[in-house]
Structure 1
Amino acid sequence: MDIAPDKQNIDRVFSNTTYHIDFYQRDYKWTDEPVRRLIDDIFYAFEETYKEHVVLDPGPEIIVAKYPWYYLNTYVTNTIDGRVYVVDGQQRLTTLTLILIKLHHMAVSFQSDLADWIKGKIAGQDGFKKRFWMNHERHLEALKALFEDKDQIPTDSGLTAVNMLDNYNIIADALDERLTDKHKLETFVFYFLHRLVLINLSVEQTDVPMVFEVINDRGVRLRPYEILKGKLLGQIEKIELDAQDFNGLWERCVRSVNRFKPDEIDTFFTYFLKAKFADTRKLAQRFDNEYHREMFKKDMNDALGLDHDAVRVKKFLSEDFRYYTSLYAKIWNYAGVRKPAQEHVYFNRLNEMDSQFLLILSACTVDDPEEEEKIRLVSYHLDRLFTLLRLQRAYDSNEFNDAVYEISKLLRGENASAIPVAFDQQLLKLLSLRRGLPVSDPFEYSQFKNTSVTDVPTRFTRYFFARVDDFMAREMKVGPKHTIDELVTKTGSKGGFHIEHIVSNNAANLALYDNNAERFEVDRNRLGGVLLLKGKDNISSNNEAYAQKLKSYAGTLYWNETLRDDTYKSKLDFKTMMTGHKLKFEACRSFGPAEVEKRQKLLFDMISIVWAPAS
């Protein structure tokens, strides 16, 4: 590796070199804290000496003789086809340019003869063209407006322009406060240009990714995907990189994912690598942190071939990265808004089943013609797997997560028809593991009979009843009383939804259980003995007699209303649903052990329909 260090003051840094922003560099992201710290550091060194020599006239000889030099860190460049690219240091160099712009405006205001000198440090002649030395090509309008001291600064070109404007205002206020007269301004200009020093490291193109990563490991760490970008794009020749717009491709894909969450692209890469290369949860852990390093280890390079292979890198970017980021964004979209064709992606989001990202990425191949069907089947069966395990008290988070990787391995590269088989296999395996004997039926009443609110989390209980009510609304061809999202997520005493016991905790009801307090408490907690109700009023009626509670169920969820006589009068769609699915609904004028059992059995029959096997 060939690195050429060169000590330079600001006067030399910005003299005859146009700095292009390399693809390794992020947007200009410095905000007020690092900008203020840089200003404080520069002025701390200047102010102490200025106090001693305030009577001296400003000039290069005085500054060099009396003022110590101050080190401003390193910046890294590489030169390709005559162009100098900033590999590291864009944040600092851009901020120094903004300081120069403010100094130029102040010099003009003070009628200083240094104005033209400063102006030449901001922009100059580069061949036939006049350019800003810090050549932010996509944000030149903002830079030009700042340079020309216009009232309106355009920032629609992006984050860099926004931060340049914000930071220029911070710099302007700070310099106005500190440089209050012409003498001090001119002294500071000589100090700034002659005594502030940076070290330029010029590196060869082949060494840029490694140098870039090492430098950023020492300072403010970049995100893994930002380092990965440098490692990948750094292998492509500049001419081809520009001609085929690989940088644009990368940025578009990253933006399509990051719009859902800041830096979500790192999560994408983690899921993608686990989906394609991890057969077990233990093996998947290697991608949880520094996945960008793992991708270049020997075993991964044998599979991906991204180390020192520009051909494979270009193929990866134009095929895998393009397709799977698009697929990932599609999953996010389906998870955010319920769409009938892919509603189970939305349901899984309500249950915080993020493993659907992993499994869908596993199932799909590049430009998969079965993509929509695979998304539908994976999301449906993941919801079914989770729900049937929960409802049969067979869910264990560690076992479930292990099963996800087993399913992922089974789905990889297979047709959509393999998806139900893989999920059913794991469902029976997990049920057998929990019961300690072979299981052939994925849903048995004997295992659901005693499932209660004490066996499943409250959020899942709300989800369960929300799905039951949603099923009833669909079958009766009526609108839902509330959205599933509201029923699952809306809490609080006023507008939230709560689980309420139908069997009140009072002496009369305890007598129905022969005053056996333990049996009474177990039975009233069963899912057949509770309802999902809205608001504080229903909580306050928790210990009322059943006849009084029954009145309050009118106008609530459809499942709740089936306890009332009036639900069965002249409602043809409800009766059609009952007969079509052979569901034994009946009104309950009293409620005790027999009614809890009937409702538990009725829920079992509805679960068997809502979460039936799907091909």
Structure 2
Amino acid sequence: MADSPIPGQGVTVQQLFKNNTFALDYYQREYTWTRDEVRTLIEDLSHRFMTQWDPLHEREQVDDYAPYFLGPFVYHEHGGRTFLVDGQQRITTLHLLLIYLRQLLADQEEDVDVSAVEELIYTARHGKRNFAVDASEEPARAQLLNALVKDWNGLTGFLLPDDSHVSVRNLHDRSREIDEDFPEILRGEALVFFVEWLLSRVCLVGIRALDQENGREIFVSMNDRGLRPSPVDLLKGHLFQQLNQNARAELGKAWADMLARLSAAGADAHEANTPSTYVRSFLLAQYARFDELSQDAVEIERAFHEWVLSNKAHLRLDHPAGARELITRLTEVAKRYCTALRASREFRPELAAVFFNGHNGIDNQFTLLLAIASPEDPDRIFVEKCAMVATFLDLVYVRRCVNNLPVQRRDLDEVINGLIPVLRKCRTTDDIATILGREIALLEHDFRELKSFGLRANNRRLVRYLLARMTAHVQRECGGGYEEADYLQGPLNYEIEHIWADHFERYKPLVKTGANFDYWRNRLGALLILPKSVNASFRDDPYEQKIEHYRAQNRLAASLHPKSRERNPQFTKYLKAAGLDKAFHPCPMFGMQEIEHRQELYQRLCEEIWNPRKLGFTLPKIPPSHEQVVRRRTRAHYGIELVDLITAGLMPPGAKIFRKLKGDTYFATVEESGVIRLDTGEPFPSLSAAGAAISRTKACAGWDVWRIEHDGATVPLKNLRNEAIRLGLSDARS
């Protein structure tokens, strides 16, 4: 084949970033990728990797893993610099992901060399970092990237300048969300393998333009002329082909109105590709089959227009009126979707739970909300149904979180996909209240584990959410105050306040060790939520001084003060009505006992806020049996679990395991269900999560660091796991 005057070359991610600095030309748009697009990229990469990884593999075997193609990018070179013409979104996201992976590798306590990743992120000269995706002309972008490289955890205290570009604000938001969406399975021993695969086996094709002008022409050609039709366009073509001329004219206007409405709602909610997202959710919610043999969900996610073509009989498209019925329903339900989408970003009291789920990144809530959306319902009825379903998801999310269970999209999809078929049949709000009440009764986890819950490296967003909900609830019950949205996203920028200042020496007589100090200081009962400006003004003060400041703040913070009930009749009335008079006792001093009492108070508040009956759900009169609840348990998605070792007799239930860190030894008990319970009382579903909680990091190679006494020797749990694999337990599970 003859050489092209515009050449292309395949490169790995490592080759892409090594010794390269990418700049942007004047015609390039801002960095606009949404959370969903970033999450989809991470899920695609992790899924391809996990289909190949085996815990028994050696690292060099990664060289034999199948490659993954990420698509083309276009660039031109000038003055020793590489200017991106097309591909900015993917390359910027990859750069951000590399910074995060560097943090995770550094968190692993084993001897992991981060230099191979670090050299792809930036080069250092004269004490300054020069980033691979050039930030030299945007000071705010450089500040953000430097903050992320220094300590990803420190992003919480990073404040963007008010005049920051859209790109910088999006980078800031995506960096926060990557931490929440990165798969739990890749935070353990698979992490090192995944990074090597990403660098050496994930590929792109670079197309080099001749010069800047040629680059601009290519950019215009790729983004303006001859664009491929979207899946929504293709679906329209399939459906409208079956209509007569009059129906095409009539429904064509409804289709155009739908697209305009969706685009406007998407712009208001800062969401891209809203029409495609809606159609995908609509088909999943109203037509997909979710039995064990069905692949509908996978096929709709992959290419919903092709799924429609392949399922004409199921969708009644083989019936003359079928296309009209589907188009009419699709365009009408879109109005409901726009209502929910806007409510997920703009607080409406009657749809508060939709906003809470949006804040917590539960974007797959829309599939469940559309399952109960009917064009025949008045707006008021839809809002009532929508609020109830969203409230259910919020309750499930919070209960899972306080029990340290994963709450990523795939975990909640299991709940959502199981509910869609039964919710479709519900005609009234009472029907929904009964169905979801039964589901709540079958939930295995409640708020009892909150007694040991606290702030960790990977749950700050959740802790802030819990504190905001409790603060707003108490404030409202005492006669008014801000809505929850004001604490979560309001102009006062509320943040977590540690009641104990970060001064170990003040509390050493109580806690003895630095590790014990960190544990007690970060207990939920030792935390409040305050405006950032207030928090910053006295965070280092002793408690005796802080308590006077707390008295002037929200009612939950003020309740610490001995005089908090004086001339506060609404507060005392609320305490008596809620049965919290003793739980809200004041704290003139604040030691370990007071933290325990406060922890009990917070548990009571959560049980009150998320009380199913008060939320409107109809619980069954006869509680489900233990056997019914156990049957609902789900298992991890990959590999051997501790419960498998117990079942195989390789480990007894109640076994003690331990790990060492910085000269200290930490113990845990493996319960019969496979839950790892630390000596502090905290339960964790995986060894990596339990290990990361102890080291206060985001990642931990749990099977490597946890050890057990076995056959008279101390061995890593990895040895028992590998023995189970060799015995064929992993094959039996699959």
Name the TM-score, length of structure 1 as normaliser: 0.57
Equivalent of residue 413 in structure 1, options 425, 432, 437: 425
Aligned to 1:443: 446
Per the alignment, residue 596 of structure 1 pairs with 595
**Contact preservation (8 Å) 1:501, 1:530:** yes
Distance 1:461 1:312, change over 3 A: same
Deviations 1:585-604 (A, max 9, x none): 12211101111011111111
Cα offsets for 1:66-89 (capped at 9, x unmatched): xxxxxxxxxxxxxxxxxxxxxxxx
Residue 270 of structure 1 is matched in structure 2 by 280
Whole-Å Cα distance in 1 between the matches of residues 476 and 295 of structure 2?
42
1:284 paired to 2:286: no
Question: Would you say 1:250 and 2:255 are equivalent positions?
Answer: yes
The 5 A counterparts of 1:293-372 are: 293-297=306-310, 300-306=311-317, 309-318=319-328, 320-368=329-377, 370-372=381-383
Aligned residues between the structures: 379
Equivalent-residue separation in structure 2 for 1:282 and 1:451 (angstroms)? 39
Counterparts in 2 of 1:343 and 1:602: CA distance versus 1, 3 Å: same
For the pair shown, which has the larger CA radius of gyration, 1 or 2? 1
Deviant stretches of 4+, over 6 Å: none
User: Counterpart of 1:467 in structure 2: which amino acid?
Assistant: R
Instruction: Answer yes or no: is 1:586 the counterpart of 2:585.
Output: yes
Maintained 8 Å contact 1:512/1:593 = no
SS in 2 for 1:443: coil
Give CA deviations for 1:494-553 in whole Å, capped at 9, x if unaligned.
x53321211223355433534133333212211110111222562464333111222332
Q: Does structure 2 conserve the Cα–Cα contact (< 8 Å) formed by 1:381 and 1:420? A: no
Question: Does structure 1 residue 388 correspond to structure 2 residue 393?
Answer: no
SS of corresponding position for 1:498: strand
Runs (5+) with no aligned partner, structure 1: 1-31, 34-215, 432-441
Equivalent-residue separation in structure 2 for 1:224 and 1:496 (angstroms): 40
Aligned-partner SS, 1:301: coil
Contact 2:356 2:394 in 1 (8 A): yes
CA offsets 1:89-128 (integer angstroms, 9 cap, x no match): xxxxxxxxxxxxxxxxxxxxxxxxxxxxxxxxxxxxxxxx
2: distance between equivalents of 1:499 and 1:410?
A: 40
In 2 relative to 1, CA 344–507 (structure 1 residues): closer, same or farther, beyond 3 Å? closer
- Taking structure 1 as reference, are residues 240 and 353 closer, same or farther at Cα in structure 2, changes over 3 Å only? closer
CA contact (8 A) 1:588 1:595 kept: yes
Q: Is this contact kept in 2: 1:451–1:527, CA < 8 A?
A: yes
Q: State how far apart, in whole Å, the 2-side matches of 1:358 and 1:507 are.
A: 48
Cα deviation, 1:40-62, whole Å, max 9, x if unaligned, reads xxxxxxxxxxxxxxxxxxxxxxx
Matched AA of 2:475: A
1:374-413 residue CA offsets vs partner (Å, 9 max, x unmatched): 2121011111111122123234434332122112233222
Q: Residue 460 of structure 1 aligns with which residue?
A: 462
| Alpha-carbon contact 2:399-2:447 (below 8 Å) kept | no
Residues 551 and 564 in structure 2, CA contact (< 8 A), matched pair in contact too: no
Identical counterparts, % of pairs: 22
Provide the residue aligned with 2:228 in structure 1.
221
* Mapped pair 1:573 → 2:560: no
Instruction: Give the secondary-structure state (helix, strand or coil) at the position aligned to 1:567.
Output: coil
Instruction: State the Cα distance separating 1:328 from its structure 2 match.
Output: 0.8
Q: 1:16-27 maps to which residues of 2 (within 5 A)?
A: none
Cα RMSD after superposing both structures: 2.8
| Contact persistence 2:499–2:527 (CA under 8 A) | yes
Match status 1:476 vs 2:474? no
Find the aligned partners of 2:357 and 2:289 in 1 and give their Cα distance.
22
1:611 and 2:613 equivalent? no
Residue in 1 aligned with 2:560? 563
Work out the CA distance in 2 between the residues paired with 1:222 and 1:469: 49
Taking structure 2 as the reference length, the TM-score comes to 0.48
Asked if 1 retains the 8 angstrom alpha-carbon contact of 2:472 and 2:484, the reply is: yes
- Aligned equivalents of 2:392 and 2:511: distance in 1? 43
Secondary structure of 2:453's counterpart equals coil
Is 1:526 the counterpart of 2:523? The answer is: yes
- Give the direction of change, closer, same or farther, for the CA distance of 1:390–1:225 in structure 2 (3 Å limit): same
Counterparts in 2 of 1:478 and 1:537: CA distance versus 1, 3 Å: closer
Structure-to-structure mapping, 1:5-404, within 5 angstroms: 219-242=226-249, 245-261=250-266, 262-276=272-286, 277-279=288-290, 283-297=296-310, 300-306=311-317, 309-318=319-328, 320-368=329-377, 370-397=381-408, 398-404=410-416
